[in-house]
Amino acid sequence: MGLRWYHYVLWAAFIGGMFVLPEFVSRGTLRTLIFANFLAIFAISWDALSGRTGYISFGHTFLIGIGAYTTAILTKRFGVPVEVSIPLAVIATMIGGLIVLLPALRIRGSYFALVTLAMMELIYQLVQVIRPDLTGGTRGMSGLPTLTRGAANGYYMSVSLMLAIALSTWLLMRTRLGTALWAIGMNEDAVAGSGLSPTRLKMIAFLTSAFIAGLGGAVYIHYLGSIAPRALFDINFVFTIIVAALIGGAGTIVGPIIGAFFLTFLLEYLRPWLPGAERYMVYAGLALILYMVQPKGLASLVTDAAARLRRAP
Amino acid sequence: MSAALDIKGLVKRFGGLVATNEVSFSVKPGESVGLIGPNGAGKTTIFSQIMGELRQDAGHIALDGTDISHLPTPRRIRAGVSRTYQVPRPFSDMSVAENIRVGLMPDSIWQMIRYGPNHDRESELALSVGLTKEQLQRQPSELSMGDLRKLEMARTLATAPRLMLLDEVFAGLTVNEIAIMSSLVQSMRDDGMTFLIVSHDLKALEPLIDRAIAIDQGRLIADGSYAEVIADADVRASYLGAA
């Protein structure tokens, strides 16, 4: 994987920094950080598929929704313990997503994006109509078992999960598999022309993405203790995930994390002045400016600055 | 190292246009064959069908006697046939070394994860086509057309082909670069590689081939030694217009 000493130092500093953070911030900020951690997980999940392979998914909450609803139904309706329901939710996300979305991986570009968008709408309608006694219909479900109590514990749980996912995905993407997935985003035909099956590689990217989305979705609702379909399948939520990955730097691991924290805090601090959906216009404007300055995202601004420092006499 | 190619009754239609019309020919192991013809004759379409990038409407393609007509492109490459393109298609954001790495990837996902890149082999392939060690970390955008063709050759060689299809391998090259590319192909011929080469530069092509095949409007019009094919009345008419 070609790990260098500074990789260990940077990861150790990042993990250490994230774990001591609760000592320096207020309880309210801690709750914002928890949401940033979950958004980072979802953005990493989106990036594992779309940021790498260039297949833009507009329906990522479809995957998050399968994970969230599977564990919610299992725990609430069937009394399955959380330790069992979460792994089952992850498996269900991978299988369910594979059955529905894998055929879509044979189509490209805007058609793929449209199919994923339709999938999100489809599951939103399904959970409301099909067996509302199980899914809770339009009102969703509340009173689900929670994994932690208190903001500090919630933070440690969410940050541990986010860091574990970030580190594992980073290591995976540093292998030759990561290079092959990256190559698909650049020229899928040339990947096939190098003797590799693009469909198989996209399936791996998709399964990785589904695994993270399912796990993140399942743990998220056991943090909240409730599930609300309108919030989960909200188009603004999808766009927040996508913009977090893009604004931070698609195709990287640190990018979606930076983007998620930046967006969460931006939206939070704008709340007193712009309590409605107008807040999203502000981040759309910021995203636009960033693309004009550095299309590769905030992570590239940092790496470019570091490169300039190294070159400086 | 060498592979035999057999093409029988290959047909490809695009609507009313017959791009490949009942084309049949063979290439023996270790042989180098030039595929010539005017623009739009169907040479690249034949390459695309051999590689499985285009599916033929009729006919069969066999490599060493095994029918590969219905295999997807990656499996044909694993079987031992690989190609270069008229316009080089590097992975634009990757370094030269990473481009070659993609060609060297194993078929197994587990092996991709388990084993790291073979830097020595990447370097060896780059050097074998005339790229320098300093160029390994360069981006394709920093390379000349000649070096881009070398990179494409290195990535193609990384798939361990026994039959190479070279499409307009001299296009866009300077005289000096043509000489370098020719000697590269020549040395691979000496090692026993089988070639099917498309080129409009007949002067550069002639010393690299044992035989020539001429195509016009999707039909095979001549097959023989270079001198015989060039002297053929149909071939002259196809290049110069009917007398």
| Distance of alpha carbon B28 from alpha carbon A305, whole angstroms | 57
Put simply, the chain B residues between 151 and 180 with a CB less than 8 A from any chain A CB are 155, 158-159
In the block, residue with structure tokens 């207020």: A26
Band of residue B11 on the pLDDT scale cut at 50, 70, 90: very high
Q: What is the pLDDT of residue A135?
A: 87
Which residue ranges make up each domain of chain A? 25-233
Band of residue B242 on the pLDDT scale cut at 50, 70, 90: low
Q: How far is A251 from chain B (nearest CA, A)?
A: 12
Q: What is the pLDDT of residue B43?
A: 93
Band of residue A235 on the pLDDT scale cut at 50, 70, 90: confident
Q: How many CB atoms lie within 10 A of CB B17?
A: 11
**The pLDDT of residue B53 is above 90:** yes
Q: Which of A42-46, A103-107, A109-113, B6-10 has the lowest average pLDDT?
A: A103-107
A3 touching B (Cβ < 8 Å): no
| Distance of alpha carbon B87 from alpha carbon A30, whole angstroms | 54
Q: What is the mean pLDDT of residues A285-306?
A: 82
Pairing of strands B194-198, A141-142: unpaired
Q: What is the ipTM metric for this complex?
A: 0.87
pLDDT digits (tens, 9 = 90+) for B55-76: 999 999 999 999 999 999 999 9
| Distance of alpha carbon A47 from alpha carbon A249, whole angstroms | 9
Q: What is the pLDDT of residue A272?
A: 83
Mean pLDDT score across all residues of chain A: 89
| Distance of alpha carbon B54 from alpha carbon B10, whole angstroms | 12
Put simply, the chain B residues between 47 and 66 with a CB less than 8 A from any chain A CB are 51, 53
pLDDT digits (tens, 9 = 90+) for A47-64: 999 988 888 888 889 999
Q: Give me the residue from B93, B113, B158 closest to A177, CB to CB.
A: B113
**H-assigned helices in B195-232:** 202-205, 226-231
Q: Which of A29-43, A297-311, B62-76 has the lowest average pLDDT?
A: A297-311
Q: How many CB atoms lie within 10 A of CB B62?
A: 15
In the 8-state DSSP scheme, what is residue B25? E
Which residues of chain B lie closer than 8 angstroms to A192, CB-CB? 53, 72-74
**The pLDDT of residue A307 is above 80:** no
**The pLDDT of residue A225 is above 80:** yes
Half-sphere exposure of A123 (CA within 13 A, CB side): 28
Which residues of chain A lie closer than 8 angstroms to B89, CB-CB? 187, 189-190, 193
Q: How many CB atoms lie within 10 A of CB B202?
A: 15
- Contact criterion met (CB < 8 Å) for B51 and A193: yes
B139 touching A (Cβ < 8 Å): no
pLDDT digits (tens, 9 = 90+) for A171-206: 999 999 999 999 998 999 899 999 999 989 999 999
Q: What is the mean pLDDT of residues A70-95?
A: 95
Put simply, the chain A residues between 202 and 241 with a CB less than 8 A from any chain B CB are 204
| Distance of alpha carbon A241 from alpha carbon A258, whole angstroms | 12
pTM of the entire structure? 0.88
CA-based nearest residue in chain A for residue B110: A177
Band of residue A126 on the pLDDT scale cut at 50, 70, 90: confident
A307 touching B (Cβ < 8 Å): no
Per the structure block, which two tokens stand in for A51? 């940021």
Q: What is the helix (H) or strand (E) element at residue B6, kind and residue range?
A: strand B5-14
| Distance of alpha carbon A71 from alpha carbon B54, whole angstroms | 46
pLDDT digits (tens, 9 = 90+) for B100-114: 999 999 989 999 998
Amino acid making up residue A174: R
pLDDT digits (tens, 9 = 90+) for A20-29: 988 888 888 9
